[in-house]
Amino acid sequence: MATGLPARLRLPLPRRGPLAWLKPVALEVTAVPGRDGEPLEVRPPILGALAVIFGVTALDHATLVLAPLALLISLVAAFRRQFAWAAIGAISAVAALVTSTWFWSLLGLSMLAGYLL
């Protein structure tokens, strides 16, 4: 019986015993086609995941270093079309900056220095 598949993709099925009444079935693996009928390339959202990790970590530790880094990586992730990850990373980074006393202290000191000088 011709199944249209190469021999290495056909599974041998038992011909005797209690399963002898089953007919052989050909298995095909199909991929969702992209442009020009080629399979889609899967790219994990590395930049988006880094933005989320840095943003959430900035809520607790090293806010002045990690929050701007998370904002920068979120911007790059958005350009790489990882919008959901970029939004979560940016929102958590902004939340970390808003709740940071060190950020507001440095911002106030810079405004005071600009006013006095």
Structure tokens at 99: 């709740």
22 in any annotated domain: no
Tens digit of each residue's pLDDT (9 = 90 or more) over 49-106: 999 999 999 999 888 999 999 999 999 999 998 999 999 999 999 999 999 888 889 8
Distance CA 92, CA 88 (A): 6
92 in any annotated domain: yes
Structure tokens at 17: 């015993």
59 in any annotated domain: yes
User: Quick one: 68 exposed, middle or buried, by C-beta within 10 A (0-12, 13-18, 19+)?
Assistant: middle
The answer to whether 45 and 74 have CB atoms below 8 angstroms apart is no
* Residue 35: pLDDT over 70: no
> What is the count of structural domains for the chain?
1
The answer to whether 14 and 23 have CB atoms below 8 angstroms apart is no
Looking at the DSSP assignment, which residues form a beta bridge with residue 39? Answer: 33
110-116 average pLDDT score: 89
* Residue 115: pLDDT over 70: yes
Model confidence, pTM: 0.61
The whole-number pLDDT of residue 106 equals 87
Of 3-12, 15-24, 29-38, 47-56, minimum mean pLDDT range = 3-12
66 in any annotated domain: yes
96 in any annotated domain: yes
- Closest by Cα among 10, 22, 95, 25 to 58: 95
Structural domain for 100, as ranges: 46-116
Query: Terminal CA-to-CA distance of the chain, rounded, Å?
Result: 90
* Residue 14: pLDDT over 60: no
37 in any annotated domain: no
- Closest by Cα among 39, 46, 36 to 81: 46
Structure tokens at 19: 């399963």
68 in any annotated domain: yes
